[in-house]
Amino acid sequence: MVFPESPLKDSYRRVVWGPWRRALLRLPEGYELRANRRLGRAVMRASKARREQLARNLRRAFGERDDLDTLIGAIFETHFVDQYISWSFARIATGGGDAYLRIEGLHHLDHALKQGRGAVLMHPHMGPAQLPLCVLGSRYYRMNQIGGGGVAQPLSAEGQRAAATRAELEGHIPARIWDGAGYLRPLVRALRQGEVVMSAVDGTGGGHELGRRYTREVLGQPMRVPVGAVWLALASGAPLLPLVTFRNPTWGPDYVTEIRPPLDLPRDEPRDVALELGAEIVAVQLERWLRDHPGDWHFWDEFEPGRFLEPDP
């Protein structure tokens, strides 16, 4: 979610990036995420227009359902945890990851890496999206991530300071983050050297959408699906594994990352045909994630015509 610039937003930034952040980092590891979920709930109550937009887009995806208010609350919580997860990266990078995340299916990644061609982890923007990147990097996996297009709207001076602080804190992630607007050949080389690349299969949200996309049906809507992860797997010969992060419904840390076995790609087909077929594979997986974990997705405010969806005729 992207909220418009305003003097009120700048006042909010000064408090949140100043005394609020300092206070939360005095808490035990992981507790700052819980505090930021409560912050998200508080902002939700003051954001009537955004609540109405989310309800409209959720109905577009799922029709009428009894738990819309619960889902909207979870979406706000997810947004605020993700916005400020950078505060925790230094803690995680020095070995505190277990307080934040449990990774299930890690053996699928280990088995894939034994083939010697690296691995592409395709993921949606769910939960704190960079959390598994940081945790896996702290466990000495050679991690890479394709960065997005950034937020398109101009930032105030206070917004620029907050963005600079966030970028500095992201420097604690033990991984290489690549500009998605650049050439992807260096990532192909990294995969051939046995490294891991995380690549999103939904979008950037509020920014300039990058890369080749194909329109496929997702939740009954014509969505422009990116195929960068598929292209990387085809170009490098690396296996393509689905990865998703969501709120932990049981005991343990607040979030769970689930890694699934490699997907079957049409590697013997011509590249354009393989990408067309790969887009269908991505769309099916993305819809499954959205149905299973709707409150964890970042981009319900973008799930409308002219944004993530094709414009209305």
By three-state DSSP, how is residue 207 classified? strand
Beta bridge partners of 218: 221
Please give the pLDDT value at position 1. 78
Mean pLDDT of 199-215: 76
Q: What is the CA radius of gyration of the chain?
A: 19
Report whether pLDDT(75) > 90. Answer: yes
Whether 150 has a pLDDT exceeding 60, the answer reads no
* Structure confidence at residue 226 as a pLDDT band (50, 70, 90): very high
32-45: average pLDDT: 96
* pLDDT tens track for 2-12: 787 889 999 99
Closest to 80 in 3D by CA, of 311, 298, 308: 298
Predicted local distance difference test score (pLDDT) of residue 54:
98
Mean pLDDT of 209-231: 90
- The structure's pTM equals 0.93
- Whose tokens are 């966030």? That residue is 166
Contact 147, 179 (CB under 8 A): yes
Instruction: Say what the pLDDT of residue 169 is.
Output: 95
φ, ψ of residue 290 to 5 degrees: the values are: -65, -35
Q: What pLDDT shows up at residue 189? A: 95
Report the C-alpha gap between 80 and 87 in whole angstroms.
12
Q: Are 149 and 205 in contact (CB under 8 A)?
A: no
CA dihedral 150, 151, 155, 158 (to 10 degrees): -70
Residue 206 pLDDT > 70: no
- Domain parsing of the chain, residue ranges: 7-302
Summarize the confidence of residues 280-301 as an average pLDDT. Answer: 97
pLDDT number for residue 126: 98
Average pLDDT, the chain: 93
Give the integer Cα–Cα distance in Å for 209 and 55: 24
Q: What percent of the chain has pLDDT over 70?
A: 95
DSSP summary character for residue 298: S
Write out pLDDT tens, residues 88-138. Answer: 999 999 988 999 999 999 999 999 999 999 999 999 999 999 999 999 999
pLDDT at 149: 54
